[in-house]
Amino acid sequence: MAGKVNHEYHILPPDIWPLVGSISALTFTSGMVLYMHDLPHHAIVLGLGIAGLIATFFSWFSNIVKEAEAGDHTPVVQLHLRYGMILFIASEVMFFVGWFWSWFDFSLFPSTISEVVGGQWPPKAIEAVMNPFDLPLLNTLILLCSGTTVTWAHHSLIHGDRDGLKKGLWATILLGVLFTSIQAYEYAHAPFGFGQNTYGSAFYMATGFHGFHVLVGTIFLIVCLRRTYLGHFTPRQHFGFEAAAWYWHFVDVVWLFLFIVVYVWGGWGAPVH
């Protein structure tokens, strides 16, 4: 009985995917550097890095799902997973703080940037800004509704309502796809481009990275929906879904700040497109 488990912790077996993920991340960033400097073979290096990262995500998270279904995620392990998710979201918060910081720096001190800005915000090169009460307001309502539907799904799961869980997840995923589609349409018809001045650069980096997070969150929820149909979640053990719900609410809150700071306040008084 020397090998009998007498504790609630999960001792991970040796796994190759952390190493593969690290190498893939290095390959991806190297490919990005090659691409930005227009050096040869950047497409091959970048493609290998992306393929390695996708394989790592799929295989590593598949192992985590198998561990959960095998009963390795005890209450103690689930608590530590929640700590890890909280720290991850905290790091994401600081990531967006950087973009908000740059936006406030550009907008509050326009005279210290360059002659292109012309000592005003939005810069004089910007002939028109996005109308915040058109598509951005619609997207705000869509994300707020999606926060409600994912909460509905969570509530249904806790109370053993599998049908409500599926409907809530389907509604949240469809709202996420609709948000992404509207933002892509907005980008396609924007009155200013990326990289022309500080306004355009800060706008596209902040809203673009948020859009990327919405895409990731939508994929996260699709995985949860697939697992729901496989019967993986129970009212007592559903950390995978809980983490997805936390992430989605984080995306909602960040968008509210983006809408107020970037769209409403950032373009106040300027001609709208």
From the centroid of its chain, how far is CA 93?
11
Q: How far apart are CA 19 and CA 17, in angstroms?
A: 5
Average pLDDT over residues 110-119: 58
* 145 pLDDT above the threshold of 90: yes
pLDDT confidence of residue 168: 97
Average pLDDT over residues 73-87: 91
pLDDT confidence of residue 118: 59
- By percentage, how much of the chain surpasses pLDDT 90? 65
pLDDT confidence of residue 4: 59
Q: Is the CATH number of domain 1-72 3.30.1330.10?
A: no
CATH superfamily membership of 74-265: Cytochrome c oxidase, subunit III, four-helix bundle (1.20.120.80)
Domain spans, the chain: 1-72, 74-265
- 3-state helix, strand and coil shares in percent for the chain, rounded to the nearest 5: 70, 0, 30
Average pLDDT over residues 134-155: 96
Entry pTM: 0.88
- Note the pLDDT tens digit of each residue in 91-108: 999 999 999 999 998 888
Range with the poorest average pLDDT among 1-10, 116-125, 208-217, 234-243: 1-10
From the centroid of its chain, how far is CA 71?
29
H/E element, 191: none
* 196 pLDDT above the threshold of 70: yes
- Note the pLDDT tens digit of each residue in 30-50: 999 999 998 988 999 999 999
- Computed over every residue of the chain, the mean pLDDT equals 90
The region that residue 42 occupies, defined by phi over 0 for left and psi between -120 and 50 for alpha, beta otherwise, is alpha
Range with the poorest average pLDDT among 71-75, 154-158, 239-243: 71-75
Annotate 158-182 with DSSP letters as a single string: HTT-HHHHHHHHHHHHHHHHHHHHH
* 149 pLDDT above the threshold of 70: yes
Average pLDDT over residues 154-169: 95
Residue found by looking up tokens 């550009």 in the block: 106
pLDDT confidence of residue 127: 82
